[in-house]
Structure 1
């Protein structure tokens, strides 16, 4: 089978990022929707930069409002359909409250509140907005990116459905898109990024730590855990490596899969090369993933200055 061939403009209807559309058009044709979604996830989370994310966010209308005049015509049409449940369940008071909270959100974060609105009521969307509003900007930025990917996947399914041939009528079967999305959910991982991620923030400069080499290892020694004060030579096994990009993100240290192996992990950063005059030749962060946590996401960032560092478990 030759596969499904799409143009850049068609992918721009699925995601407002020009960078995303170009990468997807270059990767086309696709043998199936499943293949397209897998590539789209990789492009969105690993190849599209911050500017591209913001461009995609700006293509979306505020919930309850008309799409921007600059929106792609097909994208604008899909947006109306995705918000149909919200509009149908709205009252004048709930729309007014939603508008007020949207304004507060945009003032705090600098972009429109983004949520995969398909099937959601106005009250449900408002509750989620209020829940997310206290987030730190960097946390909310990642959540918005994940919501954008959900929207993109639904629209890719709609795009593929236009290529389906239905006998006798020639019309698109309305259930095709839903069936395709369900197939993606069951046949590919539900995660949209690897289970272990990191980023570096250079707090001495107030900017991302770019160009830092990062290495991920897992403990495979004779003992179940490395013992404090004892030599651990040979116990750590390489899992993956990368270099932080201009946003301080490490890229893929692992592949995307649902269940991560429980155990002790170590992320090491080549801080000496990044900051030759600093105090730390390298920084290692050791953490444990338990059996009950194997489906969770582990974001372990590094906050770095020449003479101090700290970390935390992010989201």
Structure 2
């Protein structure tokens, strides 16, 4: 018994390169990551797309990673009018002013230490969990933190790709 691919995956596979690139840019701001995924179309299943994403994420250079992170707003400050960042940071919606202020302070300290936004897969996490994560991760070495960031980016990319391939169901 054959199963048809999800409609979003079919749409992605048959889109023009420019339309597919734009869709991928909504998932991850890294040009290298998007180019890698485009190069392997068509995908027979969502899992093959996810595997390609994981491989592309693992292969990102420091510059590519910086480009990807630049597409993410700081935790607690989703981009106005951006439903993706608002949805992903939903755990901050009910946060107290004190927690928001603490997270802002921690974000700034993190950015000063590492030179980039604190990246975490915020989906399903509370404000307190995100605060605790930044507290812990600020003590990482730059090498340790790059590895954590790469893992978190991979999780975010999978969540966003899942939404892409299942759009229209």
Interval containing the TM-score (normalised by the shorter chain): 0.7 to 0.9
Partner SS, residue 81 of structure 1 = helix
Report the counterpart of residue 19 of structure 1 in structure 2: 32
Report the counterpart of residue 153 of structure 2 in structure 1: 148
The Cα offsets for residues 139-180 of structure 1, whole Å up to 9 and x where unpaired, read as: 101101110100000000000011x4xxxxxxx4xxxxxxxx
2:77 is the alignment partner of 1:65: yes
Q: CA deviation at 1:78?
A: 1.2
Structure 1 CA distance for aligned equivalents of residues 128 and 163 of structure 2:
26
Structure 1 CA distance for aligned equivalents of residues 146 and 44 of structure 2:
32
What's the Cα RMSD here? 1.7
Structure 2 CA distance for aligned equivalents of residues 140 and 36 of structure 1:
26
Listed as ranges, the matches of 1:1-315 within 5 Å are 4=10, 5=13, 6=15, 7-46=20-59, 48-67=60-79, 76-88=82-94, 90-162=95-167, 164=168, 172=169
Return the structure number with greater relative CO, CA threshold 8 A, min gap 6.
2
Partner SS, residue 65 of structure 1 = coil
The Cα offsets for residues 44-64 of structure 1, whole Å up to 9 and x where unpaired, read as: 112x22111110011100011
- Larger helix percent: 2
Q: CA deviation at 1:67?
A: 2.3
Structure 1 CA distance for aligned equivalents of residues 137 and 33 of structure 2:
26
Q: CA deviation at 1:77?
A: 2.1
Instruction: Figure out how many residues of one structure are paired with residues of the other and give that number.
Output: 156
TM-score, normalization by structure 2: 0.86
Structure of greater Rg: 1
- Larger strand percent: 1
Q: CA deviation at 1:33?
A: 1.1
